[in-house]
Structure 1
Amino acid sequence: MRQPRPQHHVLVVDDDPTVTEVVAGYLDRAGFTVDRAADGRDALARAAAHPPDLVVLDLMLPGLDGLAVCARLREAGPVPVVMLTARGDEEDRILGLEVGADDYVTKPFSPRELVLRVSSVLRRAAGGPAPGGGALLRGGGVVLDPAARTAQDARGPLRLTLREFDLLAHFLRHPGRAFSREELMATVWGWDFGDLSTVTVHVRRLRHKVENDPARPRLITTVWGVGYRFDGG
């Protein structure tokens, strides 16, 4: 007999009860257990009491907004976050990515698309067999352990988000090769379409964590007209 699949616990944070009800309903039917919060402080309290596997987080919340909530969640641990933005403005999307959101969905959105995004982020967070196996990856003074999902350099452990870790692992597996943003989005994010500024923001964040001088990167370099290359092999 097939064993039941363990349910992932998702915390949905939105001050609009209609949005929360619809999102929670779709996630519940997809096999997730769902907790709900209507504001940032309640969300942080619920996350502390029952740590979620993923948080669906609205950017525009009363009091403590989604950016502040995401930053505090990141301080507590590497929980994946899918941000909901009320507008399609690039600034909103980039702000969410800058504080560590792993993905975003712009309102109005398809609840089915949101469920697919949640499932995709959770699969990436769970990891799995990676190209090259679980051997340590090294380059430019960085040592990355794919199995333990840890990374460090001479300065100590690197605090990486889910996507930053996957992006760095991809670069370390292919030193000296230039990748376009489209290629990185397809390989690292698993998306065939999407906003390419997602890649740009994550490269910038990663540089701030692995480069001695992010303004003059020596490891993750820009290849004009192509994309990015890891030169620390």
Structure 2
Amino acid sequence: MTNHIGVVEDDANIQNIVSAYLKKEGFYVTVMDSAEKAWELWETRQPDMWLLDIMLPGMDGYEFCKKIRQESDVPIIIISAKDDEIDKILGLELGGDDYLTKPFSPRELVARVKRVLKRTSHSVQDTPHDRIKAGNLLIHENDRRIFWNGEEQDMTTKEFDMLLLLARNINRAFSREELLIKIWGEDYFGSDRAVDDLVKRLRKKLVDIPLETVWGYGYRLRGEEE
């Protein structure tokens, strides 16, 4: 099935170049010049991925990203002329799966689109087991469903991926750098604050989950001792 890519960009030249390269690779592309038009598309026909500019007329890309994340884990690649680290961190912490700075190579953009789609469609895969149980945590891997104390929980893509990784490796400590690579991908750049923020969200959602801080190193999910 052809993936539908929504491109939100107000520069006509970039619109044409990005659209042409994506269509050449077999993607179905819808181009919009504002976040308001993109939201209208979202409510009628949801794309499989967004390519999102930050500096837009009206609602900016950050606000649009935040609105999408309140409803879905659909992949989002942010494309922006803002290249300061703080802008990249903000975009990723708001839910972006990747951040590409203008000017960029259209071929690199296509490669990142394919990589993010592959990563989000086939998340951490180290074992074929469909169900993983760790104490009061139950993960249905194929359905991407999380149960905590018998109740199903709403999880973002990265929240699910981190829980799955930790549950497969009970009592193993992962460094922040390892978690960045395994959850965000090897091409991730920016601060490891993203890991800490993700852990905070998990602890808030799954009250009393034994997700421990390994001081000065990283995190682990504690299991019952044999």
Question: What is the CA–CA distance in structure 2 between the aligned matches of 1:56 and 1:212, rounded to whole Å?
Answer: 29
Report the 3-state secondary structure (helix = DSSP H, G, I; strand = E; otherwise coil) of the residue aligned with 2:68: helix
Shift of 1:128: 7.0
Match of 2:59 in 1: 64
TM-score by length of 1: 0.83
Structure 1 unmatched runs, 5+:
1-5
Question: What is the CA–CA distance in structure 2 between the aligned matches of 1:85 and 1:228, rounded to whole Å?
Answer: 32
Change in 2 beyond 3 A, CA 1:128/1:202: closer
The count of aligned residue pairs is 224
Residue type of the partner of 1:171?
A: L
Change in 2 beyond 3 A, CA 1:38/1:83: same
Question: What is the CA–CA distance in structure 2 between the aligned matches of 1:20 and 1:114, rounded to whole Å?
Answer: 13
Does the 8 Å contact 1:221/1:231 carry over to 2?
no
CA distances 1:102-151 after superposition (whole Å, capped 9, x unpaired): 22212222221211111111112222792221332233633221100111
Correspondent of 2:200 among 194, 198, 207 = 207
Change in 2 beyond 3 A, CA 1:34/1:178: same
Change in 2 beyond 3 A, CA 1:128/1:211: closer
Does the 8 Å contact 1:158/1:209 carry over to 2?
no
Question: What is the CA–CA distance in structure 2 between the aligned matches of 1:17 and 1:64, rounded to whole Å?
Answer: 18
Asked if 1:195 corresponds to 2:189, the answer is yes
TM-score by length of 2: 0.86
RMSD of aligned Cα (Å): 2.6
Match of 1:50 in 2: 45
Match of 2:122 in 1: 127
Question: What is the CA–CA distance in structure 2 between the aligned matches of 1:220 and 1:118, rounded to whole Å?
Answer: 34
Question: What is the CA–CA distance in structure 2 between the aligned matches of 1:166 and 1:42, rounded to whole Å?
Answer: 31
Question: What is the CA–CA distance in structure 2 between the aligned matches of 1:128 and 1:205, rounded to whole Å?
Answer: 16
Question: What is the CA–CA distance in structure 2 between the aligned matches of 1:82 and 1:110, rounded to whole Å?
Answer: 14
Shift of 1:211: 4.2
Report the 3-state secondary structure (helix = DSSP H, G, I; strand = E; otherwise coil) of the residue aligned with 1:95: helix
Percent identity for Structure 1 against Structure 2: 35
Does the 8 Å contact 1:163/1:202 carry over to 2?
no
Structure 2 unmatched runs, 5+:
none
Question: What is the CA–CA distance in structure 2 between the aligned matches of 1:124 and 1:17, rounded to whole Å?
Answer: 29
